[in-house]
Amino acid sequence: MRFAALTLTAVLAGCATQTPTPDPVVVYAAGSLRDALTEVARDHEARSGQKVALTFGPSGLLRERIEKGEGAQVFASADTQHPQRLAEGGGWAAQTVFVRNSLCALVQPGLPVNTANLLDNLLRADLKLGMSTPKADPSGDYALALFQKAEAVRAGSQAVLNAKALQLTGGPTSPAAPAGRNAYAWVMEQGKADVFLTYCTNAVAAQKERSGLQVVQLPAALQVGAAYGLTVRQGAPAPAAAFAKALVAEPAQAILARHGFGRP
């Protein structure tokens, strides 16, 4: 861990210029980070006086916007592949994991779904299974990883789950939740899914908005972890690297942990 921290410090130092700027640090970040990172940015602004401009969305779509020329200086993705792709394309530092998450099942009120019988229920023909959009949103890719694990538990599961899963969020044409609403609570309220596979942090936030929803942990054989990758544009002003460095420091990590994220 100490070696990783030292490496991150060296990388971030190398991709920043030495001239501070009064302009805000432009941060593009995974939508699942919205609540936590908004609080982190507010704390960072209070500590440093440096403003931070946050843009949230599905990580894959954000990466595409950056590749098309949008001026993000820091990219915080819900996976490691999208930031690594930017780095491989040139102009961005090698990604580093700065926080972790995991997949949970968000379940409609009253459905008798629990950890032990989750796979049985996911395979039911009459149960509507929701997920996010793979490639556009890493949450969808993690759901596909769950389906692959299910195949090892019960032969034929992967094909059934791939065929029935509804890609309801995270895509370029996915309906947007009303302003101020949790996207997953809204999807469930609309009855679009009986069970929705999403990050545990998203599921807990949805449950806070709509208290009847159930958050079901995955059984050990189906558990899928999510590593969140961070990268900084090479040559970005020094405050961009300073904000990225702050994300792995204790004050920000404590805030992220309070929102349910795991430490790197």
- pLDDT tens for each residue of 142-190: 999 999 999 999 999 999 999 999 999 999 999 999 999 999 999 999 9
Assess whether pLDDT exceeds 80 at residue 106: yes
Question: Of 98, 73, 141, which is closest to residue 229 (Cα–Cα)?
Answer: 98
b/e per residue 152-175 (b: at least 16 CB within 10 A): eeeeebbebbeeebebbbbbeebe
Distance CA 226, CA 138 (A): 9
pLDDT of residue 22: 74
Q: Which of 7-21, 97-111, 124-138, 156-170 has the lowest mean pLDDT?
A: 7-21
Of 2-11, 102-111, 218-227, the range with the lowest mean pLDDT is 2-11
Residue 6's pLDDT is 38
pLDDT in tens, 204-227: 999 999 999 999 999 999 999 999
Q: Is the pLDDT of residue 20 over 50?
A: no
> Of the candidates 109, 174, 165, which has an alpha carbon nearest to the alpha carbon of residue 142?
165
List the CATH code of the domain at 2-100+225-258: 3.40.190.10
Q: What is the pLDDT of residue 8?
A: 53
Contacts (Cβ under 8 Å, ≥6 apart) of 46: none
82 pLDDT band, cuts 50/70/90, is very high
The tokens for 106 are 């968000």
What residue spans define the domains of the chain?
2-100+225-258, 102-222
**CATH topology for 102-222?**
D-Maltodextrin-Binding Protein; domain 2 (3.40.190)
Helices within the chain (DSSP H only): 2-14, 34-48, 59-67, 81-89, 118-122, 138-153, 157-164, 183-189, 200-209, 238-247, 250-258
Beta-bridge partners for 92: 233
Q: Which of 112, 111, 83, 86 is nearest to 97 (CA)?
A: 83
Please, which pLDDT band fits residue 4 given cuts at 50, 70 and 90? very low
Do the domains spanning 2-100+225-258 and 102-222 agree at the CATH topology level? yes
Predicted TM-score (pTM) above 0.85: yes
